[in-house]
Chains A and B, each alone.
Chain A
Amino acid sequence: MNVFDISGRAMSAQLTRMNTTASNLANARTTYSSEAEAYRALKPVFRTTMEENGLATVDVEQVVQSDTQPTRRYDPNNPIADNEGYVWEAGVDEAAELIDMMETARQYQNNVQVLQTAKSLILDTVRMGK
């Protein structure tokens, strides 16, 4: 495993995280007529992949549903409201998702920077003596 594998896989893990954030934000505020069918935020589970010599990269082990509860709201005019006039809103914490998105972007950027540095060092090494 070299620097390119390490940062490349970390970048794709962060990208998975960005995708889950996108789908969470896209589904925020959608309404459902029962709690069971309401959308719940998706969260990736990151897992370190270790190598004997101390190098480690990261992979998405699985994507799980978060336990953010859908909110019940009184909205009798909504056509899909239940008998009592309530609807369920997707269990997505929009503020938390936006913060997560910024963190993801930042970490993706860090890995890009690592790749750029490693690339230029390796190119310098290749050009040595020319």
Chain B
Amino acid sequence: MGNRPIKFRILELFLDGKEHWNYEVVSKIQAEYNMNSAYGRDSINFDIIELASGGMLKDVEQKVDEAGIYKKDFLLHKYVITDFGKVRGSDACLMYV
């Protein structure tokens, strides 16, 4: 069970500087925080959307979820952390130097 606020953990996952698909992050957080319901999944995805809206993550690629990995026919997003996100993420996670 994760012990930091979910948005902290999401930023921490992105602090590796690599691009991640939203469904990868969502399923990782679902497992860590024991949020396996559809409601849990959607609320984690919404946290990611808010982080992108706040300019901490940048949407770099999209694809349609044809296989139903996350939600069938929905748009999947690949994000990367921004410089501002690195600063806020390091404030929150004390990992990035």
Query: Does B associate with A?
Result: no
Interfacial residues, chain B to chain A (CB-CB below 8 A): none
